[in-house]
Amino acid sequence: MGIEFLFIAAGIAILIVVLARRRLFERRLIDNKERLSGVKFKSTVPAELEAILKDAPRLKGDGQYAFQSVGCTSFTENFNSIAIAKRIHFIEPTDIEVLLIPEPGNFERKLGVAVTVDSKLLGYVPTKEAAEMHKYLLAHSTGVRANARIHIGSRPEYNAVALDFAKPLRLDSRRK
């Protein structure tokens, strides 16, 4: 009789902890979505959002750079300013760190995830990956850093950003 009572009490305690963590997870998801929903991206990240994202966590990558961002042609001026600021030549691809920010206020893509460098918008994560990533980003933070390879071409059509993240999505450990 004594051991069964102990197992039942442990099971109830575990259930309470799981339900409490789920509630906290849902609350954080709603709070981050509300915080970002009023922010409108144009070609740069707003200053109030940039202050929040200073210590964003990093996504773990697999080194393959398999995910090409979309919509890069629209942000030619941003590519040019980043090329000048970071001294990137259009001949060779360059490894940089990008910031991935969920954009729930985007009317064209409700699950849009913006790819930014130095608060300049360069494109968006492809729709298939963005659907998986959007909820993950809102749950963990308002944005995450990731490694990327930027290609700056001689013409706007050749500009591209290849993203490096592993599936399933995981954050890098902070201890090294």
Q: Around Cβ 163, how many Cβ atoms within 10 Å?
A: 25
Domain assignment of residue 144, yes or no: yes
Domain assignment of residue 57, yes or no: yes
Residues in the chain: 176
Domain assignment of residue 100, yes or no: yes
pLDDT tens, residue order, the chain (176 aa):
678 888 888 999 998 888 888 777 777 766 766 666 666 666 666 666 666 666 778 888 888 998 899 988 888 898 888 888 888 777 788 888 898 888 767 777 778 888 988 888 899 888 888 888 887 887 766 678 889 999 888 888 888 899 998 888 888 766 44
Q: What is the domain extent for residue 9?
A: 1-171
- In this prediction the pTM is 0.71
User: For the domain that residue 21 is a member of, what is the CATH number?
Assistant: 3.30.70.2330
Domain assignment of residue 176, yes or no: no
Domain count, the chain: 1
- Cα torsion 79, 81, 86, 91 to 10°: value is 50
Burial (CB count <10 Å: 0-12, 13-18, 19+), residue 76: middle
Distances (CA, A) of 104 to 30, 35, 109, 112, 140: 11, 10, 8, 7, 15
